[in-house]
Structure 1
Amino acid sequence: MTETPGKGVVVDAEPLARFCADVFERAGMDRDPARTQADVLVWANLHGIDSHGALRVPKYCAWLSSGVMNPQPQLCIQDNSPATFVVDADRAAGGVAMQAATRHAIGKARSNGLAWGIVRETTHTGPMGYYAAQIASAGMLAIVASSSRPLMAYIGARKAGVATSPIAMAAPGDRSEVVMLDMATAEIAIGKILKARATGDSIPAGSALTADGNPTTNSLEAALPMPLAGARGAGLSLMLECFQGVLVDHPLLAPALRGKPVVHSQNGLAAAIDIGLFGDVAGFRKRVDELGAAIKSLPRAEGVDAIYLPGEIELNTAAERRRDGIPLPT
């Protein structure tokens, strides 16, 4: 670890993961689940998604202490068809529950061609890309998402009506690494607001409202992220609630909007599709590369140095941070 005055510290990924895992173990988690959760956070830091990285450790520890996050959950995977399953997470750490779902989805898709799994009653799930990348690296198409209580303004409303509902979609290439879209349905993720508060930065205009429903760029006043592209982001979030919690009788939005006391909880989705169902896998990977090359060869707009594919900037950041270390604020 190195320290730069006024700029925080720089630490390598493995020591950071060991540190986070040790903290979680001291907070009551078993060793393997603690390391699983730590790996999720450090992956986020490596890929430049610092809002979902080690910044979350204090909040997770507070949840472990209060019982919001169960340090000793009894995960139960129910296979209700050859292609579908439900993970009853027992309020497990989100990374632990989602990783179990991801591995199970890959296994079912290898055996049956596709898998659609829902995680019921977990906690903060972290970056969807962590799980989607694993599915794509197994040679499959991936769709991974999560949903939570109302955190984001619904279009036309002054109060929270839907969740920020992150979603990731990934496909494997041949020479290229995984092509992956990893996004929230909000103009700004809650984690990015938290990061801005920690660093004293402002947030972009039009990205959030105050608790009273007024626009703000002050991260300390920001309470409600705005939906991405207005009605599109709000509608996508609502539909993701239908595809997750509503589907398995663990809705999160409607009970909260009806006034039921809100306790932090999330649901998740992990879906995998065997590309071989549709033809030659090697040919698919080659065509993904060809598509990427065609996009990157487009004439660039004035002032643009490079055209990037979804997830490419994050992959470049990960390569840099594996080499140079992960910067952390102090």
Structure 2
Amino acid sequence: MKYLDEYAKQYEDCAWLPFEELEAFMKEALIHAGVPREDAEIISDVLIESDKRGIDSHGIGRLKPIYIDRIDDGIMLPTTKIEVLRDKAAAAVLDGHNGMGHVVSHKAMSMAIEKARTYGIGMVTVRNSNHYGISGYYATMATRKGLLGITGTNARPSIAPTGGVENMLGTNPLVFGMPTDEEFPFVLDCATSVSQRGKIEVYGRAGKELPEGWVIDNEGRSRTDTLQVLKDLTTGKAALTPLGGIGEVTAGYKGYGYATVVEILSAALQAGSFLKALNGFDENGNQIPYPLGHFFIAIDPEFFMGLETFKKITGQILRDLRASKKAPGEDYIFTAGEKEYLAYQYRKEHGCPVPPSLQKVMITLRDRWNMDMSWDFEKK
């Protein structure tokens, strides 16, 4: 398969660390930052899952800038105090009180799964949370139990609405996980923008320019200057384009619409914050928390025509799609979740790739807390 032949080439400048080694480092760093051990285990499990699946934008790369730095800045609390605001039949509402997003989200999806076992479907919403890592982690919490999992979250404003240039909506992923009769579930985990901030950060660490059409400026022109874009997204001088791209010709209104759906489900059901209230700054330009909202849905196929029937039909749909006629020059058709499965198969043997920029971050955090850890890449 051409994809696998090319896979490792993109990581030629990286050190490869075993899953257990990288996860242990992230867990200990979080504990040193003030996160209780039990919570640190949940968070590091979410982060390493991202690296295991080849989603390099949301694993070790997010540890310092999104979590530890925000704890240091006082805009994210290392201890998560979860309050159950509503809990009735198949629904519940939780308040994360500005704690760690992974922790309250793990509880929320666990509750949704439990409710689905009883009622066929369970939905739990969350407010006053923080960045919760890869959305697909929570969807696969459900698929591992033989359930369908759906989740989404709002985020700091990044996307401009179709016809506009002001960043109003977050990248707002809308994520689905479904069990199959294959070795891996169907998992569609993607933002409602053409790209997202984490991927732009990956380009920045690699010193690469962005593709045309990912980002626009206040005049509606495409931007490709990666590092300045990352700054301008925060100040409102740049905005991401929704799925479909710039304008209506390529159906950018569809991505805009889906992003709006996620914004509503992440705010209205839980009486949470939305749009510009999530930009992380007060009227004086001071940093403040990002009071994000999330939603989690679990569906038990046993309340319909049964799990085995669902898995068999879902698997056959995916196999038929892969077997369909291929475009010239293409040797394979993928279905959602398959590339992540292949990445996991490769990485469980070779480890997770850590580029030089993140190696420096790991050393910095290790030395800050005098952690008893060392890595082979330090010997080079």
TM-score by length of 2: 0.82
Distance 1:200 1:316 in 2: 26
Q: What's 2:6 paired with?
A: none
Paired residues for 1:58-69 under 5 Å = 58-59=64-65, 60-69=67-76
1:247 equivalenced with 2:269 (yes/no): yes
1:126 equivalenced with 2:133 (yes/no): yes
Match of 1:297 among 317, 323, 338: 323
Partners of 2:184 and 2:337 within 8 A in 1: no
Q: What's 1:142 paired with?
A: 149
Q: What's 2:122 paired with?
A: 115
Residue 251 of structure 1 and its aligned partner are, at CA, apart by 2.6
Residue 145 of structure 1 and its aligned partner are, at CA, apart by 0.7
Partners of 2:165 and 2:217 within 8 A in 1: no
Shift of the 26–270 alpha-carbon distance from structure 1 to 2, 3 Å rule, reads same
Q: Which amino acid aligns with 1:268?
A: H
Residue 6 of structure 1 and its aligned partner are, at CA, apart by 7.3
Q: What's 2:210 paired with?
A: 203
Q: What's 1:26 paired with?
A: 32
Residue 115 of structure 1 and its aligned partner are, at CA, apart by 0.6
Distance 1:194 1:211 in 2: 21
Match of 1:226 among 229, 236, 241: 241
Shift of the 70–255 alpha-carbon distance from structure 1 to 2, 3 Å rule, reads closer
1:270-327: CA deviation from partner (whole Å, max 9, x where unpaired) = 1001101111211111111111111111111111111111110111001111111111
1:57 equivalenced with 2:63 (yes/no): yes
Distance 2:80 2:306 in 1: 41
Query: Sequence identity, in percent?
Result: 28
Q: What's 2:18 paired with?
A: 12
Tell me the secondary structure at the aligned position of residue 124 of structure 1.
coil
Shift of the 256–326 alpha-carbon distance from structure 1 to 2, 3 Å rule, reads closer
1:128-174: CA deviation from partner (whole Å, max 9, x where unpaired) = 11110111121111111111232211111121011110121011012
Stretches (4+) displaced over 6 A: none
Partners of 1:176 and 1:289 within 8 A in 2: no
Q: What's 2:166 paired with?
A: 159
Q: Which amino acid aligns with 1:305?
A: D
Match of 1:284 among 310, 316, 335: 310
Shift of the 245–14 alpha-carbon distance from structure 1 to 2, 3 Å rule, reads same
Deviates more, 1:206-215 or 1:100-109: 206-215
Shift of the 256–272 alpha-carbon distance from structure 1 to 2, 3 Å rule, reads closer
Q: What's 1:269 paired with?
A: 295
Residue 210 of structure 1 and its aligned partner are, at CA, apart by 3.8
Shift of the 158–218 alpha-carbon distance from structure 1 to 2, 3 Å rule, reads same
1:176 equivalenced with 2:202 (yes/no): no
Shift of the 296–6 alpha-carbon distance from structure 1 to 2, 3 Å rule, reads closer
Residue 98 of structure 1 and its aligned partner are, at CA, apart by 1.2
Tell me the secondary structure at the aligned position of residue 45 of structure 1.
helix
Residue 35 of structure 1 and its aligned partner are, at CA, apart by 1.6
Q: Give the aligned length.
A: 325
Distance 2:218 2:226 in 1: 12
Residue 79 of structure 1 and its aligned partner are, at CA, apart by 4.2
Residue 12 of structure 1 and its aligned partner are, at CA, apart by 0.8
Q: Which amino acid aligns with 2:24?
A: R
Partners of 1:154 and 1:227 within 8 A in 2: yes
Shift of the 123–116 alpha-carbon distance from structure 1 to 2, 3 Å rule, reads same
Paired residues for 1:290-329 under 5 Å = 290-329=316-355
Distance 1:187 1:134 in 2: 26
Match of 2:99 among 92, 113, 118: 92
Q: Which amino acid aligns with 2:227?
A: L
Partners of 2:52 and 2:352 within 8 A in 1: yes
Distance 1:56 1:26 in 2: 16
Deviates more, 1:275-284 or 1:202-211: 202-211
Q: CA RMSD in A?
A: 1.9
Distance 2:95 2:278 in 1: 21
Q: What's 2:258 paired with?
A: 236
Partners of 2:80 and 2:103 within 8 A in 1: no
Distance 2:170 2:91 in 1: 24
Residue 47 of structure 1 and its aligned partner are, at CA, apart by 0.9
Partners of 1:75 and 1:90 within 8 A in 2: yes
Partners of 2:173 and 2:262 within 8 A in 1: no
